[in-house]
Structure 1
């Protein structure tokens, strides 16, 4: 199917950005049935409604952007970007222990409820998840760009598919490359999308195996790629026996700002997870990490391109899937 795109330019600067995105989109293997003006006639306020919901929720809870971004990753990497992670019930993706710490569901549900009032049975939950993640990044200070819509909601959600399709924080470079490649994502996408860790929080048990305390109460580094002073800070925040619900910020410097600080942290050996630290330790990715650390705009441009690829993994369009009336349950 050929996708027709019409460019409307409210300002010269916005036009330039939109044209760059369109060329990037055209050059990428994105799904041809998605379009930038999919809801133009059926629900013209769809994106505004989602954006307002994200901004409102984030103003009262600064952890919301990180939660919405993580929700997108966990959706798209399992069954594709089809909102399968939202479905409730025994044996669904959402019920798997790896997903029990996900958040942001209330924002998606609120947006869907409003959209069902103004545009019933029109806007998919899959599009809401993707739009909300993009808007979450914007709310946190990241780049704004147009994103194609037209995704439909999946009917399959199986917990057994979760573990083999999401990145574990202890993954090696080889394991991450293999998983990203299976989703059609490149090594550059891997480095770029890891930048999502510039916002959000992590549970202590996700990184506590990188260090421990000896019998005298002294820090013992197991992963020597971790800065010792940073490890001491983490140990104080996550002492042995910490509650499973205890969290720390992914980025200790600019915790709620979407910026390039994550890459600066990596150069200082302050990557929270092992899967972060390997990016600066591996010669295949270290140069890209340094480039992003030195120039935030370079990171933002790459983020736009990689994010667009992420949000089109395994999408369902046309007659596939459905448009749910409730994001938590199939029709």
Structure 2
């Protein structure tokens, strides 16, 4: 037996388990525990050879691993969407691979049914993940969902090609090494998003009283307020202001980089604020949003569109009992514009 690929796949799957554990500690998300447990359990697959009392336990392990993974996918969607699948689906769908694995193990036969069922559910889970979270995580959700779909296809194909002897052992193991490496990359991309870590930051936050609702503050006024917000998970869209410690920061700029929002993409700000406020409400924390760069947004969108955008944000924070601090100065606006801004945000 070629030991190198065996060690590689076990090491990679162990590394994925450590990544999930780190994410759980960082964010306190139950989904990370379920997904991590699923991958760690599959660490010996498709190496094979797990025999206890003369019975091949690989189908049972595969079924259990897939069941936990599917439950983790459902839990992650629930965490982000604020609502989960029907209870009947939650109780009936994830156990299916485990049931198939238990039957094959009890019969003492590894005829591939567990791999086919597991693959089908992984494909369905990947597609569902993309459908529900592509607007939230964009390309990161597509990458992770596509990885699940690819793993599902490989699982469904496994009984037809390897168990029949159409592929040799080394090709299967190297393919599994590739899938494991792709999975750890896709999941790291997902959890490195600021959106993913809202949960942990909110859970550990102590409320700061800055007054509910939207209001306009000058740069000088904000300097004093910002001192009280160090360590609080403020959601800040900044142009040039220095962020405080622990803030969730997006820069408003025309230069496309990570965590940068173009001034013309007002919808992205609205979506991000909505996600943040939903998480704040769910964890019982007073959400605080900071917005800077209105002049640049006006230049790219027009004043009327800017007012509609601010009206939407104002309604969102009022309904959730959160705070919106808009940083700007009187001097950069005409009298009529300033009057309308005050009417909209005070």
Using the size of structure 1 for normalisation, the TM-score is: 0.25
Higher share of residues assigned strand = 2
Higher percent of residues as helix: 2
TM-score between both structures, scaled by the size of structure 2: 0.25
Larger Rg computed on CA atoms: 2
User: Whose relative contact order is higher, 1 or 2, with alpha carbons under 8 Å and at least 6 apart?
Assistant: 1
